[in-house]
Structure 1
Amino acid sequence: MPRYVFITGGVVSSLGKGLAAAALGSLLQLRGYRVRLRKLDPYLNVDPGTMSPYQHGEVYVTDDGAETDLDLGHYERFTGVPARATDSVSAGRIYWSVLTRERRGDYLGGTVQVIPHVTNAIKEFVLGDTDDADIVICEIGGTVGDIEGLPFLEAIRQLGNELERGQCAYLHVTLVPYIASAQELKTKPTQHSVAALRGIGIQPDILLCRSERPIEPDARRKIALQCSVREEAVIPALDVRSIYEVPISYHHEGLDTQLLKALGLPADETPDLAAWKKLNERLRRPEGEVTVAVVGKYTGMADAYKSLNEALNHGGIANNVRVNLRWIDADAFRRGDASEAVQDVNAILVPGGFGERGHAGKIDAVTFAREKQLPFLGICFGMQLACVEAARNLAGIEGASSTEFGPCPDPIVGLLTEWERKGVVERRSAEADLGGTMRLGAYPCAIAEGSLAEKVYGANEVSERHRHRYEVNINYKDELEKVGLRFSGMSPDGQLPEIVELPGHPWFMGVQFHPELKSQPLNPHPLFAAFIKAALEQSRLV
């Protein structure tokens, strides 16, 4: 019988509910429990796939091809449990499913209402596909008081009555701000947030109180009294130097112990945090540092490249070095001033992206890395532009471009309309809706013997996650290989280029997939470990 933990937030957004869920999941794993982590988002988009990164941050993709909230990346990185399509749902998808049923006549002519139809659909999602879990952690997006979040809060309130006693617990993340002019912490925002939650019918079992200053015992007692929560269940969540210190900090404050008590589970054993402590020791005392330039399109929004940022840090952890990231707007990157922007970097990375804006600067960045012999990694769109750059500057194909930008004489990159997935042919067209029409999820890649890719992975076949509409045109493979580019990774049928590299260059690789989505702090992705190692070796040459 799975138990359920519902995590809500109040006062303000961006308090770290997703990080709290991930850290809690990790702590419960270390105590021997099987966990699943889920995100319930109140926005009306069916999924975040068509949302701008400036609106919602990165889109995290699961093995089974679901486009989900970036918090699922936190969940995977901290627990290693692969997320599934059934671990993420939005209000849009819930309403879509309800209205689809209504159109089919499933409700037998009854009036369709938020209660019970929408709330029942939410409960079905929460309770479904949980046979492999002892504890299911469900994060509710938004903050208490948001009108769009009310159906989700009502659904989890109902579950509190319908599940067996001790089968669910409520954890509320709130803010205890420090007012500098008064030189004191204020508990009133937390009191109001909990009052709003209780007004909906939910009494939290645990309060996780974010604060930049230690919360004194008197303040904790006051919060406990006013919010009807045990004093030991008022957990301070103080700022830490790295997100990877959060499991250690939360355990020290008793979060996992209090949660297990709320669920009626034994909490006597102490989790072994040695791996997390060793990781944080490396972060605090690196043996060196490297600087990596990331030439991208959304550099003004940190969450747009969340998984990439973390994966590069994981590569640093693997090599025991600090990775300094220099974010460079692709529109501002031109050959004329490239040397000034990247003169002292040890490697260049061009990440994924969509659309024509910024592509010229990214191509310039590829050229700079190739000519200056700097380690280079191109991901998804970055790999495609590396092929365009080689076609133009090595093969002399002046009309080389991507049909993503419009018709061109030599479509080095084009829209693929048909491909095979697990023996089933999938199709799309240029006129199809944007949502869900990409090559999404995990696909196998066959790696050539003797290649850099084989050395990096230590394997001849890997599985990596994709999210893109356009592919490198296989018809130009021979022409590009004649001028030095090597297609070292291909789909098993040999039709889809997955990895390109440049033999003779110190370290040059482009990949069609998104390796950052599978990197974890305790298990860095080999591609990022190798890339940062190459950057470290380059730094020693300077």
Structure 2
Amino acid sequence: MMVKYVFVTGGVVSGLGKGITAASLGRLLKARGYRVTMQKFDPYINMDPGTMNPIQHGEVFVTEDGTETDLDLGHYERFINENLDKNSNVTTGKIYWSVLNKERHGDYGGTTVQVIPHITNEIKSRIYREECESEQMTISIIEIGGTVGDIESQPFLESIRQFQAEVGRDNAIVIEVTLVPYIKASGELKTKPTQMSVKSLQSMGIWPDILVCRSDYPIEDEMREKIAQFCNVKKEHILQNLDANSLYEVPLMMEEENLAKAVCECLKIDCPEPDLTRWKQIVHNLHNTEYDVTIALVGKYVELHDAYLSVVEALNHAAIQAKTKVHIRWIDSENVNPD
């Protein structure tokens, strides 16, 4: 059966939670019986994050096959309960390394090697394309790192444009995660950053099908209508994503916003009722703890807690099962006296 594709991009600023949005969508689609695969394309020139400073980049998530990848892949695995591999994290460094090696081997027949078509073709070749022989539909979710408008992201966005043209808009859609900021002085939400972000994406030939708007306050119908009018996106596909106390609440919040329903509608596939019983139990246990425990976590890079994200989440998972609230006491290893 044919594979369907969902690309997740981000606009306005970084740190809006594209990875959690993508992972939440994966959970919601899997809860509906679909087979889900996930990838992340990072626009940095490093081959992988293995040599990057954890204080700047966060932890290096190691997949089952030993590949050093971005921490978002940890979120993917925890949300969709699938083991990812070396093909799940693609960087600009890997793309250029492959293209330059092919050029040295004469694979391009002496032609001038350019961003278009050689780099974009290499990017497209990394997109998951396995044809599923079973009757179970496969949906591949691909997060594009960085922010729309960044120079580094342009080859990836151009590749999405080409890919959509090749497989059709019914088979490959784009979700833009954007920001609707609250201006305290005027006491209102502003849609202009979202409008400009979408226009930037449209200028590259990509028309987002769904907008996931991060905001501190609820986005009312009138504002959704305004965004829909200026961004040429259906009002029903303008979804809000408010701050949550726990990232494990996000799939349920996005289910209330009908994210999976919007995706299924755009991809023209069935949208059965999801089985989120287990996930709801996790969130219930999270908010109804019976015990408290404090655990000391000693590390070299405790300045940024994301440097130990998988350790923290492992503790959280154990705590959820035990209906216990975990308090982590961060200790810099440099301050530990061996005596």
**Structure-1-length-normalised TM-score:** 0.61
More relative contact order, 1 or 2 (CA 8 Å, 6+ apart): 2
In the alignment, structure 1 residue 275 sits paired with structure 2 residue 278: yes
* Runs of 4+ with deviation above 3 angstroms: 127-133
Does residue 305 of the first structure (1) align with residue 308 of the second (2)? yes
User: Which aligned pairs between 1:333-344 and structure 2 lie closer than 5 A?
Assistant: 333-334=336-337
What is aligned with 1:201?
205
* 8 Å Cα contact 1:37-1:138 kept in structure 2: yes
Letter of the 1:212 counterpart: D
Maintained 8 Å contact 2:28/2:251: yes
CA deviation vs aligned residue, 1:50-94 (integer Å, no higher than 9, x gap) = 111012111111111211110000000000111011111100000
Tell me, yes or no, if structure 1 residue 17 matches structure 2 residue 21: no
Tell me which amino acid in the other structure corresponds to 1:62. T
> Displacement of 1:127 after TM fit?
3.6
1:317 to 302, 316, 320: 320
Alignment match, 1:152: 156
In structure 2, the CA distance between the partners of 1:165 and 1:207, relative to structure 1 (3 Å rule), is closer
TM-score (structure 2 length as normaliser): 0.97
Residues 248 and 283, structure 2, Cα contact 8 Å, conserved in 1: yes
- Within 2, Cα distance between the matches of 1:242 and 1:98? 41
Contact 2:181 2:189 in 1 (8 A): yes
CA distance in 1, matches of 2:71, 2:115: 27
Q: Is the 8 A contact 2:3 2:130 kept in 1?
A: no
Partner AA of 1:293 in structure 2: A
Please name the residue that 1:218 is paired with. 222
In structure 1, give the amino acid aligned to 2:40. Answer: K
| 3-state SS of paired residue (2:208) | coil
- For 1:424-443, list aligned pairs within 5 A: none
Whether contact under 8 Å (1:224, 1:231) holds in the other structure is: yes
What does residue range 85-124 of structure 1 map to in structure 2 within 5 Å? Answer: 85-124=86-125
Which secondary structure does the structure 1 equivalent of 2:83 belong to?
A: coil
Residue identity in the other structure for 2:196: H
Contact preservation (8 Å) 1:2, 1:134: yes
One-letter amino acid of the structure 2 residue matched with residue 188 of structure 1: K
Aligned-residue Cα RMSD (Å) equals 1.1
Distance 1:131 1:56, change over 3 A: farther
CA offset digits 1:199-223 (Å, max 9, x no partner): 0110000000000100011111000
Provide the C-alpha distance between the structure 2 equivalents of 1:115 and 1:149, rounded to a whole number of angstroms.
14
Structure 2 unaligned segments of length 5 or more: list them. none
Alpha-carbon separation, structure 2, partners of 1:38 and 1:127: 8
Query: For 1:313-392, what aligned pairs fall within 5 Å after superposition?
Result: 313-334=316-337, 364=338
2-side partners of 1:120 and 1:303: how far apart?
Answer: 34
1:191 paired residue number:
195
Q: How many residues align?
A: 335
Distance (Å, rounded) in 1 between the aligned partners of 2:190 and 2:279: 32
Query: Structure 2 matches for 1:48-59, cutoff 5 A?
Result: 48-59=49-60
The alpha-carbon deviation at position 164 of structure 1 amounts to 3.2
Determine what percentage of the aligned residue pairs are the same residue.
53
The aligned amino acid for 1:140 is: I
Deviations 1:152-186 (A, max 9, x none): 00001101100034111100000000111110000
Cα distance in 2 between the residues matched to 1:309 and 1:12: 26
Name the aligned partner's letter for residue 230 of structure 1: K
Measure the CA separation in 2 of the matches of 1:49 and 1:165: 36
